[in-house]
Each structure stands twice: as structure tokens, then as C-alpha cells.
Structure 1
């Protein structure tokens, strides 16, 4: 690099340009490059239109069939019936539209981070300009606290550390230098590069802009977020598949009915009307509404557990998840640096600092080693040096605690205070006289303090440099410390060495080199794991859920955390890095096996996270992804269920995710999985209920026609039953919560349909029992009691309505007693039954409703028949259950 100019290459097409390091770009150069490369902003993504969202609500085959039925009704002159069908379509469409309307902001958070001002050197002067007017070759002037507005290469640096956790997942700030990094180095190891969207925690620098807008690493992630296609959730896909089955059932039954009627010479108009009735009977119009309410109720339950659900179907999806990719920083760990390992005088300790305890109480806990050592002079001097060779600030109060400075230096202050040092008294006694700042050349920091009439020299830094300044009895002792430091680093710890010297005479400016120092020891730092994670991971294991760590952090650190939270065994050594994945062939059996066996992936970039999620999805798994950083956003959107951290997470991650954890707790994920499993079982249960009721209507109409005993049900009556007597009990089933131990069972097979063969057998059995009961009464009323067709029709309407209402009591799991189960304990079931019975009574006692539904008044004998037909199915089914208890695990 020339001292006068710096040559850069744009990632967009263009010639090589140079920047004068003394004066920066001229205004003319900047204007030309803005014209050539464009503004430093992310591409605007057009949100989905309101009309597109609305169209999607009515763009389904089931809606088309109902629309066709309405058109036929109008054509035949049954306007009331046609309007009723259209009303059902509109209710479903409006419900779905309202729930999806707020999902159009997926890229807004990315653009919000794009409005910070930037200081640049132009025309030889430092100017502040809008960040979107930065261009290739601009020289950035950066200080602590700044948000970096573009990708750049460093040309001058002074103690610069950058918080890149949102981009790389690494919790420890990255030290930056002017030393050129390898071209193929991962983002976290590019120490001469700065990246848009990261924050400066300490120091200052000058850097030349190399990439702007969409070409930055941040912009590339934004592109992946916008391009990541969110496929239909498993529930949506399964309900869609179920709808297709119902369509074929409808077409088959209607076609068969028309053919038989034509062969018999029946009137065409009557045949068409009955075919419409069959179409209405075959389609559970209220299913989507019931599913929506069930999911919404689950969403409210999760909100009480501090889980915010953005997409309703995400609740059920999480219940079916069998693979969870989790970020490390902020999800499994606390996203803060903490002193964990101490070494002094040849002794080793592992410690934990409880920040929730008041200052002065037992904040410091020795978790491994002799607790008495912490009070020995060798360990006290270690904490003293850490507090003195330090520029961070720490509020002494527990409440409203303020921490300012480099996170490692903050951790040293917290440790010193926990170890019993009075920080205010320490700094009153030690008056700083001089400081040798950390640099990439010396790799250490030193301070000179006046203490009374004497002086205290403290040094911290890399163990190689610090130990070289110290007195050693022999070289073996120094080599031992170097070896211990390497072992600590291999164990995932970041290490610093400490040394000191006390003297009565004031040292000269080069006070660290004047005389040999006394070696004090080592301190190892780690981002500590969250306490609740271990229990949550055990729950996931029992529930048959595979948890995989995917992070941009260092491999050793990642494996260390994975072992601490019991994600992997203590002897596990397999860690795959992003560089390993670059050479992977995902079609190779050997590489696939290695992928499936690995639970820890480190130094992984956002694109590789997408590839891994795609790999597991192609295996048929339902994949959940947790994360909090910008680098997690594409994977959060690509996964079947994206879960963002709400406290420490970025706005970008929250916008891309389906769910947000307000407490950042992995335990909340377990609660959500449990709730999702309960909801899926409720959905399966009410679908069985709805379809068995609808199939009973089909059987009643079809069998009556084939037996030539008249038309026991009219289309509008069927529609009324579907909307009133089916939907309310189904809603009550959908919000039930008394499922037995949902987290002690393996996840359901993602490839299995929402209804399996045994469910269909159960539906047919239930429908046949209700059909036999209702048709039997209808036949008896017409042929034996000589009632007119209108009376028989009215009896059938009320009998089938009552039978379907009471049928809800057949929906309990079968392992419990008829009078004490999850159905009888569900207060919403009783509320639904009372409401429906009141509505049914209104249809009889209010003449205008009776006229609309073509009903007539009934005598006492008719009421007895209705009660018999309504109660008989429950008694028959429960008798079969009693006689054949083994069938409880099968058809019943």
C-alpha cells in the first residue's frame, strides 16, 4: 500500500480507482462515483400488495367449488341459498386477509439501519454526509460508538475493536489491524476489514470504502432475506392436501348421484339441487375458521409465556419440528464476556460471577478448584492488575447498572469487584501517571500508577509478549505457561496474561522494558451459557428433537459451549467449519452421513446456513431456526419456523422470523413446541369431528336418494348445520389443552398426512352410525307414521343437528372414561352446546327462520324421534368402545 494513495476494486463493474490518503476523494470524484456505483443503500423491495393478499384468500379449489355451488343456486332461483354460500366465502376470506395484512414489512428493518450519518475525508477536509452518499474510495473517519456505514479496508488503526456479533455470531469483540488477511478467511478472521452494520466498541481508525449498498456483506444478507422463499407451512400443506381429497370425494359423489338419477329418469332440476347439496355437505366450510381460531388461541397462550407469534400457522409448525438449528451467541449463551478461568502460582480455578447478588455479598463462586485460593495474595494481585490496566467504567450499583468500555475490560472489573476489591478506593490510591496503549505490534497494554511514595506497573496482553518481559527461574516454567494458555484457547477460552512490578523510583517512559516484571498469571474469558438451556435441551432430547448449533464463532469456543450445555457429550470432538462445508458434496453418502452426525457447525456464513437448512428439509425434516443477528436473518426466513430473540436480537432477525422470544430464553421454545403439539392434536381432533359430521350429511342425502325415500335434507339446511352445529363444537375442540404428556412422545412423521388411514376409518364409522340413526327415524316417520315429506325433512334436520352436537363427546382420546376426560373438562364444549341448542330452538320458534330453512311445526311424537336419533349414535359408539376396548387404539 502506497503512503500517498490506496488502490481499491469495486465489487460492481468498473475500472480500478485510486484514493489519495491525505486529501480523500474530491467532490468531483465523489459525484462521478455516485453516478457510476449508485447510492449506498439497500435495494427497495416492493411489498406484497393488498390485492395480492386478498386474492390468495379466495384462490383455492374449495372456494371455487363453493362459488360454483352459489352460481348454480342463483341459476335455479334459490337466491337465499346462493347468498348464504357467498357469505361463508367472504367470512373466510376476510378472516385470512386480516391475519396476513401485517406481514408485509420483511425488509423495512434493514432499511432503518441505513440512515446513520458518516464522517469522511473529502477535498482534504473532514465532512459529515448522509451514509447513503458514501461511495467507493471514500475515506471513513471512525471512532468508538460509531456504526460502520459501509464495507471498508483499514489504513490507520488505534486500539480498534469491533462488535461483529450481529454479523458473525462471535460475542468477543474483534481486534482490528492493518495486517492483510487471507482472501479466503471467514468474516470473523478478516482483521483488516470493516463491515457495514457492525459497531465500534473501542479505539478509532481510518478506512477506505470498498463496497457499498447491496454489494456489502450486510447487503448480501439482505438479498438472501428477500430471495429466501417461505414455503407453505406443514399445516397449510396438509390442509391443502386434505382439501384436494375432499374435492375428489365431492366430484365423485355428485357425479355418481347424477348418473344414477338420470338412469332412473329423475327430474334434472331436482338432481342438480341435490348435487349442490352434496357439494355443500362434502366441504367443511368452517374448517379454515376453526383452524385459525385454534391457532390464535394457542398464540395467546404463548404470549403469556413471552412468545410472540407473527404467523398463526407457525404455532403448529413448531409443534411438528424435529430439527432445531440454534445460534450460539445470545441463544445458548448470554452474549456477554465473563471471567471463567484463573491461573496463578501454578494453581487453576474455574469461577462464576452471579451479577444478581448485591455488591459485597458472595458474588464469586469457585466451581472447580480450592475456594480458599481465591483469597491468596497471588490471586488478589491478578484481580488488582486487571482492574488497574483498564479503561472501562462500571457503576457500583446493582440497579440500573451501567457498563462502558471494552467488554473484556468490563469483565475484569466485574471479577475484581466480585473478588472483594473496592474499585473506587483502588483508583483513589492508584493515580495513573502513564499508559502504553494496546497495539497490534506490542499486543499488550501497560499502565504506570503512583501509589503513596512508590509506583506500580501493571501489564496485560498476549501470553507470549507478556511472559517475555518477566523474570523466570528457568525456561521450562515459561513454556509451561505458554502450553497452559494454548490448552485454554483450545478449550474455547480467550486468554490474557498479567504481570507487574513495584518500585520506589519513578520509571522512565519505557517502563515495561526498564526492568524485568513479575509474572502474575492467566485469565480465561468466555461468553457463559444460559442456565435454563441445559434443562431445555434435555426436554428436546426426550421429545425426539435434534438440536444443532450453527454459529460464526470459533470452533473451539463453539464446542466448549456445546459441551457445557450438554448439546454434545464431553468426549465429542466433531466440529465442522464453513471451510469444511465448501468442499462438501451433499449428494455424497459419506458427506451426508457426516452432516447428520455433526451437532456443532462453526465459522459458518449465512449462505451456508441456508444450504444446511435446505439439506435437512430435503430429508423430509421440519426445521426450526433460532437466531438474533443480521447473519441469521436469511436462515430464519428459509426455515419452516424462524424464531428470533427479542431482547438482544436485531430488528432484522425479528422481521425475518415467524416468532419472537421476548425473554430470549431457549426454554420458551420448549413451551412453544409443547403448545404446538397440543394444537396439532386439537386440529386433527376437530377435523375428524367435522368430516364425520359432513360425511354423515353426504350419506344421508346419497343413501336416501339411492333408496328412493325422498330428500331428507335441503342444501340451505346442510349449509346451516355446517356453519352452526358443526363449527361451534369444533371451535371448542380446537382450544382444548388437556393432552397427555405431549413432550414425552417423538415428533410425528413430517411426511404423514394430517389424517392417517385409521382416522379415515374412524370418520366413516362415526358417519355410518349417525346416518343409520337419522335415516332410520326418517324412514319410520314417513313410511310407518305417515308423515308428510316436510315433516320428515324437519325431523331429519333437527335429529342430525342433535346427533352432531352430541357427537363431540365421542372425540375423547379413548384412554379415559366417558364422563371424565378432556372433552367433559373443557368448559368451551359446554358453552358451545348451550349456544347451539339455543340457536336450534330459535330456528323452530321464530317463524321467519323456520320459513327460510323450509321447516314445519312438529308434534310431541316427532320430538321423541328427534331425541332418539340424536342420542342413539353416542350410545352405540360408547357401547362398542365398552365391548371392544382394544379398538380404542384403532378405529375408535
Structure 2
């Protein structure tokens, strides 16, 4: 068998040449034997399975990372030194973090399953001259596909026979309207949305019939190419993960530096090596905030639950914070900014114009722009009548729910009539149909003949040029004027139809729709914007977030919607198409600058969406991507935060994304952004809290070692403080809800770390305040009051714990110490009460007291503990007041 020549660009190949290249008889199809041979050569028409990571691989990956390695080393040293309890406590922390990460990653492994579910439908092909139904997996190159309304296209194919064929390609290309198919060759550079001579795998047939020769199966199809991009799109670490890793590295160097310095100084002093190692271990444990990742996870989970109440489902916890840092959002048009349905938008009568808003369910119609008196004219009434009669669709409300059958444009005409106060059923009863002239690609009109009150009524709709040519009463000037109006409406992104009628006493012949028509007017159809989008986009502008439309739809339509929802302002009316975009590797600096200025991109392929996201990510932005179609899946995965529409979106998009909007509302994104910003601010606060607490522990151990005044804190006591008494106040900070001003600030610079220079200065200041108070109490107790080393150790443990618990009040944002977001956070008070209870248990429960080396505390020591705990707050507030006074 000769090798088949499968074309790379099949839309450019004439059907006769395709028949020759693929060795197929379009009237008989392939023979059964030939189909079997090709099946063996090209394989099944299915998306390739990819090798997935094993459960063990995912689990082992949770035990990687700098902090994990340091903690593991600390646990090993603890066991070596005989500190078994301490070693097991560190291991418990590692296991909690690993289990959390494993569960989150396990839930993110389903993105390709939905794509494969689209392969399970049957297909009808021509084999040996007969139409046969086979599994879609058995369709092969050169097969003749037979499709009709209701079918799901089984493979990519070139059409050679059509009859009023339309397909819905919105999930693949973003085209909001059903696409009319024909056999004409499009221009060579045509994007998918303009390749009207082709069928694409996974798209439903909405009307008509057709036959086509299969040119691509499985991974070769456009759907397959998208599946490949979904698999290959790499998701880098989220900004939060990257920043926490960066913070961990800083802490590691601090730990290594201090521990090394301490060891060197101790060896020079000829101190006991074992004691030096134990102290260095204490420093290592003190430097690492073991509870930081756990608190971050819980804070994000709390934000996730709050968003779930607002109909936003978050699949990856870190996605909440990532969205809060997002400064660029790429949004699809169809179904995201628009309602993904066709509505009557513009009326252009011979002498009147209006833009309307029709609500069929409420039976209300409003003129939002133009001539308010248009709804009182006789021509307007005639336009409604023609739109209802020249119509094969059906629309009804069943138990309050709309039920639509037929072409979306014709359905919208019925809804328009209902909103205008007319009953389409009554109109049909008054004008019973006698004949129909179906729409065809040759005539480009549809006509119906009706009987009415002893006479006859002809209703016609179609392309403006064809309808106007049949209105002989119009002069050439009027005809050109109305045609120019239709062209302008099309330029504005509207799908336009012209309407005409004729009344006669005698029954006309078969050419009833071809002459003597009276022109009524034009109707412009549009997928209307969602009502909540405009205020949401305004909120994005106020928050400093750049929103960019990236769609596969027509550029004029994209620009119209962008203007209507105020995504662009006057002077920003620039739209670039896929043809305007150079390959990413060929872009020069000037090209990139031009792309970064544009806010609307149309006729963009999935691969180009990936390039655009990559461009902004390289520019240093945190990119969010919204979408609902199969064509959006690769970009949803590539972006820093993928946001899918849950109601109208495809399952592929929903399972690939990080977040799913249950109400498909762009406004919910703004809600999520606000919550994300609150979460990040909370994380910054509890990191500030934890680091200042941990640094105070380092200072206490280090300064005591340099002063050679004993060992005021044991490693296990430090670990207990880090995991218990530090974590609960930090957690309370992490679930705070307040900070209404965040959405009136520009997004934080994505390049800045969680802790900037000012934050680090605050950390050192807080740590020094805590250290001075606690170490001062320790020195006073041991040097002046005669406390033993163990009593001094107990004093330091409880004083530092109490001081760190109260330290949470130093993290307020407002000026008032007594009324602020900290004091109004009820979880802060719960955390303080719980920590005080736990500290009491460590004293009164013998087992805990023994593990932590806690002894009896005399009353003198108790007063020192209280004083050491309260003193840092007083000191910090005095210094802050002085600094405010100096600034003023």
C-alpha cells in the first residue's frame, strides 16, 4: 500500500486533491479491509495515555525542601544525643506537613480524564458504500464522516458536501455563535475560527447535515494538540511557595552562621563539646519556625472555606494567596464576560434606531440607547411579526424554566417578541404557515408563506444584500444606505439580518420570497455582556489589576464587548489578532512593548494564549487566566492561577484550573482577589510574629552562651514553644478577616519577598525587646535572687512563652491599641486562652513537666514571669509612639 500523504494544513487543500492524496472514494468511503489497514498504521482515534506519577513518587516529593532536610538532620542529632522525645516531636511535624501536601497533590491529577471522555461517542462513516455506525476510536484517516444535527464530530475532517450545516465551536475557538459550514477554501492564513470547510473533533453539530473526509485523528486533531499542550504546560511554584522557600534559605544561613559562631567561640573557650553541640542544636530548632508551613496551610484553607461560601471553589490552597497577588488577568470573552447566548441587541428601522435589552422571562423590554419612540411605530410591530413567522425555533417557559429548541438566532427572535409583549403562539395561529423556502448558502434568505384574513402574508429574513435586492420599491440610494448600515453593524461586532414582508390577496407561486418585498429593517444580534462584569472590572482598575481579553472570536465582536463592559476606555481601542502575533521566539523588545499595551486579542489560538501568558510572566507579573472552553485548558494550567467557569464551562477547563466559579460571575473573581490579599497580609503578619518569636529564642540562647551564664532554654522547650504556644496566636492572625483598604491599593510587587527590609527591621526590634525582657528576668533571678540553673531555666521558658503570647498585640495596623483588627479578632482571644491553659498543663501534669524538665516555681519567680511577659508590649508601644511623634 502506498504511503498516504496526510496534509499539515488541510484547510488549504482542494477536495479533489485530498481525495487523491488519501486514496478514498467520497461516494463509497473506504473498504473494510482498507480501513483496518489504516487503523493498524495510524492507530486508534483516541488521545494518548500519559504515564502518571506513582503514589510513592508523590509521597516522597513531600519530603523535599530545605526546611525538611534541616529538621530531619535535627531529628537525627536528637536521637544520637539520646533526646528521643525531641526527635519524635520533630518527625511528627514533618509527617503532618507531608500528609497535607500529599492530599493536595493527589486531588490535582484529574485534568486529562475529561478530555478522554470526549472520545467515547459513536461515529457514522461511509464504508463499502454504506453508512455504518462504529466506535469513534475506529475512525481512521481517509474515512468519510456522515454528520447531522445532534452529532458530536468524531475527528478533524474536510467537508465536501453540506446542507445548512452549523457547528458549535465555542469550546474550541471561543466563537460565540454557531458556525456556518461550507466547502469553499478559506485563505491560507485563516485561524481555526475561519476554517469553515472543516469539522473539528469534539464539537457538536447544531443544524444541517454534511459529509467530510477525515484528515486528523487522536493526537493529530486540534483537540489532541490542546491535550498535548495541557500535558506539557509546566506549572511553576506558586509565588507563596517560592517566597516561603526564599525565607527558609535566609533562616538556614542565619542558623548556620550563629551555630558556627557559637561553636567556634565555645571551642576557643575550651567548653565541653557535647554541651556546645546541644546548644547549637537548640539554635537550629529555634531558627526554624516549624509551625510556619502548617499555619500557612490552615490560613489558606480558612480562606478557601470562606470563598466556598461565596460560590468560589479552590482546588489548590496556595491559589487563594496567588490570586491576591495577581496583577494581570487574562479573560476569555464567551461565557466569562458575556452570557454565552444570542440576544437581539440593535434595531435599525428605515427611519429609527435603538439599542434594546430584552427579558423574555419577565416580558420586559427596555430601550437603552437611541429612539425611545421606536416601540410605538407600526414598522416595529411588523418587524416582530416577520421575526416570529419566518422562524423554525421554539421557546417556552416550563415551570418557570426556559426551554429552547432550534437555531439560537431564531430563539432570540422569539424571546424578543415575548419581551415586547407578543405571544409567538398566537401569531402563528393568526398566520398559519402554508409554505417555506428554506435558507440555503446560494440564496442566503429564508421565506415563509402564511394565510391571513382571506389573504396571504410573506415573511423573509436573510443577508442584507439579498433581502434588499428583493425589495423593488427601494431606489438605489436607499438600498445602498441600508446596506451600509448593515456593514457598519457587522463592523461593530453584530451578526446582522435583514427583514422584509409582502401582503397579497392571491396565493403567490413558488417564488413567493423572491420579489415585491417591503423592507422592514435590520436586527443586530450579540452575545450580551454579563450585567455584573462592568462594576467588577471597575473594581479591578481601582485595585491596580490589568484585565486583558483573549478570545478566539471575531475582532469586531471582541472590541464591541470590551467597550460595552468598559474593559477598555476611549483611546484604548486597539485589537490584535492571531495573524498579527509573531512567533514568540521572533519577538523583539519593541514588539513585546506593543503587546504589553494591547488589552484585546481576537482570533487567538491556544498556543498563542500560552505565549501571551509566558510574556507577562517573564515581565514579572503574576498572571490569572479565566476561561470555560477546551481551548482555554492549556492556558489555565500555564497561568499562575487558572480560574474556570463552573456553570457553562467544560469539564476539561474546570479540572485543569486551580479555581472554579460556581456562578460563572467575573465579580466573584474580585471577591477572591480581595480574600487573597487579606490572606497574604495575614500570612505576612504571622510570619512577622513567628520570626520575631524565633529570633528572640536565638538571641536568648546565643547571648546567654556568649555571656557564659548557663543554658536558659533546652532544645525540647524551644520546640514546644515553636509548635504550641507560637502556633496558636499565629494561626489566629492567619484567619483574620478585616482589612477593607487592601482593594484600594495597587497589587504588591510580585518580585518583593514576603518580608521586606522594613519588616526585617521590625522582626529584629521585636526580638530584641522580647530578649531584653526575658534575659533580663533570667539574669535578675539567677544573679540577684539566687535561683538555681533549673529554676532559671523554668523562669525563661514561661517568661518567653508568656511574652510571645502577648506579643500578638504588637502586630496591629491601626493607631488605637485597644480597638483594631487584632482585638476585634475573636480567634486571638481563643488562642491566648488556649495557650495559657496549655502552659498551666505543662506545670500541673507530671508527664509534661517531666518531659519539659519543669520544676516548682516559687512566687517570686511567678511575678518575674508576668513582668517579663508584659514589659515587651510596653516597650514596643512607647517606641512606636515616639516614632509616630517624630514623623508628625
Report the TM range for the smaller structure's normalisation. over 0.9
CA distances 1:426-454 after superposition (whole Å, capped 9, x unpaired): 11222222222111111111112222432
Q: Look up the match of 1:594.
A: 594
**Cα pair distance change 1:350/1:195, threshold 3 Å:** same
Q: Look up the match of 1:178.
A: 183
**What aligned pairs does 1:413-812 form with structure 2 within 5 A after superposition?**
413-513=414-514, 515-582=515-582, 587-812=587-812
- SS state at 1:201 partner: strand
Q: Look up the match of 2:54.
A: 49
- SS state at 2:321 partner: helix
d(CA) in 2 for partners of 1:855 and 1:574?
72
Residue 308 (structure 2) pairs with residue 311 (structure 1): no
CA distances 1:67-117 after superposition (whole Å, capped 9, x unpaired): 111111111111121111111111221122222221111211111111111
d(CA) in 2 for partners of 1:374 and 1:584?
51
**What aligned pairs does 1:50-449 form with structure 2 within 5 A after superposition?**
50-357=55-362, 359=363, 363-396=364-397, 399-449=400-450
CA contact (8 A) 1:157 1:206 kept: yes
- Farther off after superposition, 565-574 or 763-772: 565-574
CA distances 1:299-340 after superposition (whole Å, capped 9, x unpaired): 011111110001100000011111111111111111111111
**Cα pair distance change 1:586/1:39, threshold 3 Å:** same
Residue 866 (structure 2) pairs with residue 861 (structure 1): no
Q: Look up the match of 2:13.
A: none
Q: Look up the match of 2:6.
A: 9
- SS state at 2:24 partner: strand
CA distances 1:35-60 after superposition (whole Å, capped 9, x unpaired): 11111110112333222221222101
Q: CA deviation at 1:629?
A: 0.7
CA contact (8 A) 2:352 2:371 kept: no
- SS state at 1:741 partner: helix
CA contact (8 A) 2:552 2:604 kept: yes
Q: Look up the match of 2:837.
A: 838
d(CA) in 1 for partners of 2:606 and 2:770?
56
Q: Look up the match of 1:4.
A: none
- SS state at 1:647 partner: coil
d(CA) in 1 for partners of 2:413 and 2:561?
21
Deviating 4+ runs (over 4 angstroms): 10-15, 583-587, 886-889
- SS state at 1:103 partner: coil
CA contact (8 A) 2:643 2:659 kept: yes
CA distances 1:335-374 after superposition (whole Å, capped 9, x unpaired): 11111111223211111102441x4xxx111112333322
- SS state at 2:132 partner: strand
CA contact (8 A) 1:433 1:448 kept: yes
d(CA) in 2 for partners of 1:583 and 1:705?
62
Q: Look up the match of 2:14.
A: none
**Cα pair distance change 1:59/1:473, threshold 3 Å:** closer
CA distances 1:621-670 after superposition (whole Å, capped 9, x unpaired): 11111111111111111111111111110111111111000011110000
- Farther off after superposition, 677-686 or 454-463: 454-463
CA contact (8 A) 1:693 1:726 kept: yes
d(CA) in 1 for partners of 2:387 and 2:5?
41
d(CA) in 2 for partners of 1:550 and 1:621?
17
Q: CA deviation at 1:168?
A: 1.1
d(CA) in 1 for partners of 2:82 and 2:571?
77
- Farther off after superposition, 341-350 or 582-591: 582-591
d(CA) in 2 for partners of 1:724 and 1:888?
38
**Cα pair distance change 1:473/1:91, threshold 3 Å:** closer
CA contact (8 A) 1:42 1:219 kept: yes
Q: Look up the match of 1:820.
A: 819
d(CA) in 1 for partners of 2:398 and 2:80?
79
- SS state at 2:770 partner: helix
d(CA) in 2 for partners of 1:888 and 1:744?
24
CA contact (8 A) 1:281 1:695 kept: yes
- Scaled by the length of structure 1, the TM-score of the pair is 0.96
**Cα pair distance change 1:556/1:584, threshold 3 Å:** farther
d(CA) in 1 for partners of 2:885 and 2:289?
30
Q: CA deviation at 1:808?
A: 0.6
d(CA) in 1 for partners of 2:822 and 2:505?
85
CA contact (8 A) 2:361 2:397 kept: no
CA contact (8 A) 2:473 2:516 kept: no
Question: RMSD of the TM alignment (CA)?
Answer: 1.7
CA contact (8 A) 1:532 1:666 kept: yes
CA contact (8 A) 1:586 1:615 kept: no
Structure 2 regions of 5+ residues with no counterpart? 11-17
d(CA) in 1 for partners of 2:885 and 2:112?
55
- SS state at 2:355 partner: strand
- SS state at 1:884 partner: helix
CA contact (8 A) 2:584 2:611 kept: no
Structure 1 regions of 5+ residues with no counterpart? 1-6
Q: Look up the match of 2:45.
A: 40
Q: CA deviation at 1:511?
A: 2.0
d(CA) in 2 for partners of 1:27 and 1:701?
83
d(CA) in 2 for partners of 1:165 and 1:256?
65
d(CA) in 2 for partners of 1:165 and 1:587?
29
CA distances 1:774-822 after superposition (whole Å, capped 9, x unpaired): 1111111111112211111011111100010010110101x33111111
- Farther off after superposition, 639-648 or 339-348: 339-348
Q: CA deviation at 1:548?
A: 0.7
CA contact (8 A) 1:472 1:478 kept: no
- Farther off after superposition, 296-305 or 93-102: 93-102
CA contact (8 A) 2:360 2:418 kept: no
- Scaled by the length of structure 2, the TM-score of the pair is 0.97
d(CA) in 1 for partners of 2:110 and 2:392?
41
